[in-house]
A = this chain, B = another copy of it.
Amino acid sequence: MQKNRICELFQIEIPIIQGGMIWCSGWELAAAVSNAGGLGLIGAGSMYPDVLRMHIQRCKQATVKPFGVNVPLLYPDIEQLMKIIIEEKVPIVFTSAGNPKTWTSKLQAAGIKVAHVVSSSKFAVKCEEAGVDAVVAEGFEAGGHNGREETTTLCLIPAVASAIKIPLLAAGGVGSGAAMAACLALGADGVQIGSRFVACLESSAHLKFKERILSATEGDTKLSLKSLTPVRLLKNEFAEQIQLLESQGASKEILMDVLGRARAKRGMFEGDLVAGELEIGQVSAHIDSIVSAESVVNEIWNDCLSRIDQLQQNYLG
């Protein structure tokens, strides 16, 4: 492989980033991905500050390789989280859901590399202006929180690639080597993968949730809660209840009330497949095994390179 901007930036061997996911990506998953040559991220979105510190410390014990933390900038204890991240000398931070201007330079002053997640070219340009080191552009097919414009990865990546000069990671719909090769063809320097890692051995998702992912089929996820914050969910009783209310034009207040508290924990961490919130991407339809994070990284990377080789043979050979 020639010099890859993502590998150089994060000092990793394979340009595969494991997305930080609430209730699924603790230190075990992050360390396993980093040990496999990719970049693992601890998902701080579901962690109290002291819990995050524990995960960072354990991750440092479990790997000597670079790892990162994903921080949603709208997190209430954001100041405390960032303080811990800087104190613990985390080398890489991925931020999302907020303004990249607020934290980027402070983190960089502490020697931290910063990437920010967006769902449009417009925000990708704002990230570049804010001085981030890399952008993650995430399409409509991604699990969890999602953009309002519903731009798919296939349309988003070439647009962002031509709008910015800094390194670009493609996210949303990437769970295979074929999809990774496609994203590289679209102009990404690497990929961020979420759903495929949720179903890994080292993920902290409840086993029932992992098994439900294996049985998911095409059309089993839906972008929901559009009148609050759009989020892609696996269909279940809870998601259907929300969808029905939305189709009837329910107010935000009614939706917030039904949503209640701790729905995501209940679904993904505690395994309540009926009343819990199950965040997962469209690629869940094609996940059919629970294997180690290392196997996922190797399989996707090797398949990606094979696809590129095959393309070359078929069309330029």
Task: Tell me the A residues contacting B by CB distance below 8 Å.
Answer: 1-2, 4, 120-122, 139-141, 148-156, 158-159, 161, 172-174, 176, 178-179, 181-187, 218-219, 222-223, 247-249, 282-283, 285-286, 304-305, 307-309, 311-317
A161 CA / B305 CA spacing, docked (Å)? 18
Total copies of this chain within the assembly = 2
- A–B pairs, 12, beta carbons within 8 Å: A1-B314, A120-B219, A140-B140, A140-B150, A149-B219, A151-B218, A154-B154, A154-B179, A154-B182, A155-B173, A158-B178, A184-B314
| Nearest CB in chain B: distance from A32 CB, A | 24
A317: chain B residues at CB < 8 Å are: 1-2
Using Cβ atoms and an 8 Å threshold, which residues of chain B touch A184?
A: 311, 314-315
Specify which chain B residues have a CB less than 8 angstroms from the CB of A4 in the assembled complex: 314
Is the Cβ of A154 less than 8 Å from the Cβ of B151? no
Asked if B140 contacts A314 (CB within 8 A), the reply is no
A37 to chain B, nearest CB (A): 15
CB-based contact A139/B159 at 8 Å:
no
Chain B residues with CB under 8 A of A186: 178-179, 181-182
Q: Are A311 and B311 touching (Cβ within 8 A)?
A: yes
- Which residues of the other chain, B, contact A156 by a CB distance below 8 angstroms? 218
A312 touches which of B149, B172, B309 (Cβ 8 Å): B309
> Which of these, B153, B219, B308, contacts A151 with CB under 8 Å?
B219
Q: Which of A149, A181, A218, A305 has the most CB of B within 10 A?
A: A218
Q: Inside 8 A of A316's CB, which chain B residues have their CB?
A: 1, 305, 308-309, 312
Residue in chain B with minimal CB distance to A149: B219
Q: How far is the CB of A151 from chain B (nearest CB, A)?
A: 6
Chain B residue numbers with a CB within 8 Å of A305 are 315-316
State the CA gap A149–B140 with chains docked (Å): 13
Given contacts A2-B313, A249-B248, contact A155 B285 (CB under 8 A): yes
| Given A159-B286, A218-B151, A311 and B308 contact (CB-CB distance below 8 Å) | yes
Judge whether A218 and B282 touch: CB under 8 Å: no
Shortest C-beta distance, A38 to chain B (Å), equals 15
